[in-house]
Amino acid sequence: MKKNKVLILRTAGTNCDYETQSAFELCGIAVERVHISVLIENKSKIFEYDILVFPGGFSYGDDVASGKVLSNEIKNKLGSEVRKFALSGKPIIGICNGFQVLVKIGLLPDPELFTQVSTFSHNDYNKFECRWVYLKTGNKINNESNCIWTNKLPTIVSLPIAHGEGKFIPKNKSILNSLNKNNQIVFRYSSKDGNIPRYPLDPNGSVDNIAGICNKKGNVFGLMPHPERYIFHMQHPSRKNFTGKNHGWGKIIFQNAVDFVNR
């Protein structure tokens, strides 16, 4: 019987891969951290895996712009394989720097189109933001998310952020309208009671307070907050057990993907 596996893609500057590996392993799935050079040497290797992860960090020092060098490398050397993986329906997640990469590759918001139609800019207050934020799950229908990663989450969750270029900007109004129409905005920065926030509750000034989006199918998910940093309830500043199961909201996000591939 085939054993499902997670591929965490890493390169120079990746620094959240070990935490992400630990999160997935706690969900009961095998994980391998693979350097991009290994995939470039053997492109078909990507299809040995069931979940693909672009973790957080500062890939290639975020030279030029956050995630830009890595996204160009992936697009030019692994583009067709990564796109095929996405279109197969297998789960993909991009966290923080990984979200920036998914957008700049063109996997989000539409792997069919596979063209960059959004970008990221420096936070409005022009400083690195590292703290906890509230998020509103914005794409629920009948209390279920069309994003496979965010099922079983409540309307408001809290996760930590750590970024300097987190301001999400769609190319034009049409792209934003499409994201809303197709129920692709997964997370918005929020106040604790679900109201539209201003700084510091919205840490970067993203258009429409966007903190995370998915593709139409819901298998490709990118978010600026770090779910791998809230796996145990004791990691939250309040130490409160919000889930009732001694784990944090981040654990649920990873467990959703593992449960999906284990069906």
pTM exceeding 0.85? yes
Burial class (CB in 10 A: 0-12, 13-18, 19+), 59: buried
Instruction: Tell me which residues of the chain have a pLDDT lower than 70.
Output: 1, 139-144
Is 27 catalytic? The answer is no
Give pLDDT tens digits for 50-70: 999 999 999 999 988 999 999
Is 247 catalytic? The answer is no
pLDDT at position 144 is 60
Domain hosting 39: range is 5-261
Q: Spell out the residues 6+ positions from residue 61 whose beta carbon is closer than 8 angstroms to its own.
A: 12, 13
pLDDT at position 205 is 97
Task: Go through 122-145 and write b for each residue having 16 or more CB atoms within 10 A of its CB, e for each that does not.
Answer: bbeeeeebeeebbbbbbbbeeeeb
Is 96 catalytic? The answer is yes
Give pLDDT tens digits for 66-77: 999 999 999 999
pLDDT at position 2 is 75
CA 140 to CA 244: how far, in whole Å? 22
Question: What CATH number is attached to the domain comprising 39?
Answer: 3.40.50.880
Omega cis (within 30) before 170: no
pLDDT at position 139 is 63
Q: Which of 163, 226, 233, 247 is catalytic?
A: 226
Question: Domain tally for the chain?
Answer: 1
- Strand bridging mode 92-95 / 156-163: unpaired
At 187, is the secondary structure helix, strand, or coil?
strand
Q: Which of 16, 27, 73, 96 is catalytic?
A: 96
Q: Which of 73, 129, 165, 228 is catalytic?
A: 228
H or E element, residue 122: none
pLDDT at position 120 is 98
pLDDT at position 138 is 78
